[in-house]
Amino acid sequence: MKLNTREWGGGDRVALLVHGIMSDSRTWRRVGPALAERGYRVIAVDLRGHGASGRGEYTPALYADDLVETLPQGAELAIGHSLGGLTLSRAVDRLRPRRAVYSDPAFRFVRPGQGFDPAVFVQFAAQATHDTVAAVNPRWEEADVQVELETLAVWDSATALALSGLVDEATLPDKPVVPSLVQLAGPSFLIGPEDAETLRERGFEVRTVAGAGHTIHRDDFDGFITSLEGWI
């Protein structure tokens, strides 16, 4: 499926951005311009079931195939957040960016021993108001709260329900296909200390943005950018 995209900048270097579940390319409203200022042409996608992209069946393999169909190969940089991190990890061998950043990635949908109920996502989206979004994300700027409400309004909740049958399949990548950074929230509810150490042993660089919530680039934008030193 060809995905809807959003672009910033016109530099010689290309950066790819892949958002997480319930979001879309608008989540990168500060990251896109910041990378453009650093000389990148930035391309952000709306994953299937999100934003202005089409709907259909939802699996990690299909998400990854969509990236390959939509995005250029050989980009300088690719960043995937949460579900976007998982998706990027399944497409990186075909996209072949020079560097990959996995921002609090959903390599596992939950940490071992934790329960997972996708209906929580669906219920939250259905009942979301300005006040509930702001309460859950107290460090977000007002513009991010508004973007979240707009993206939830066009999100297909079936993308969350489809995850319930995939929990047992979710595993950590065996090795980085390209030089790769795993950027973690502090603490991360997806990648615990043992998983972080396993990723280091497998060749990933791992950095934590202390105190940041899951959506690091909206919870602590300055910390997000600082933690990417040497990668962007």
Neighbours of 142 (CB within 10 A): 9
How far is Cα of residue 84 from the mean position of the Cα atoms in its chain? 4
What range does the domain containing 216 cover? 5-227
Q: Is residue 191 part of a domain?
A: yes
Assess whether pLDDT exceeds 70 at residue 109.
no
Q: Are 172 and 109 within 8 A, CB to CB?
A: no
Closest CA to 189 of 88, 80, 104, 79: 104
Give 114's pLDDT tier (boundaries 50, 70, 90): low
Question: Tell me, what's the pLDDT at 116?
Answer: 60
Establish if 232 belongs to a structural domain.
no
Neighbours of 94 (CB within 10 A): 14
What's the pLDDT at 156?
96
In a domain, 67, yes or no: yes
Which tokens belong to 193? 């200390």
Q: Which pTM was predicted?
A: 0.95
Please, which pLDDT band fits residue 228 given cuts at 50, 70 and 90?
Answer: very high
Mean pLDDT of the 185-208 span: 95
Weakest mean pLDDT among 25-34, 72-81, 114-123: 114-123
The total number of structural domains that make up the chain: 1
pLDDT, residue 175, reads 96
What is the CATH classification number for the domain harbouring 137? 3.40.50.1820
| Residue 64 domain flag | yes
Query: Could you tell me the two tokens for 91?
Result: 């497409």
| pLDDT tens digits, one per residue of 47-103 | 999 999 999 999 999 999 999 999 999 999 999 999 999 999 999 999 999 999 999
* Residue 211 placed within a domain: yes
What pLDDT, on a 0 to 100 scale, did the predictor assign at position 86?
94
Angle at the Cα of 93 (from 217 to 11), degrees rounded to 5? 50
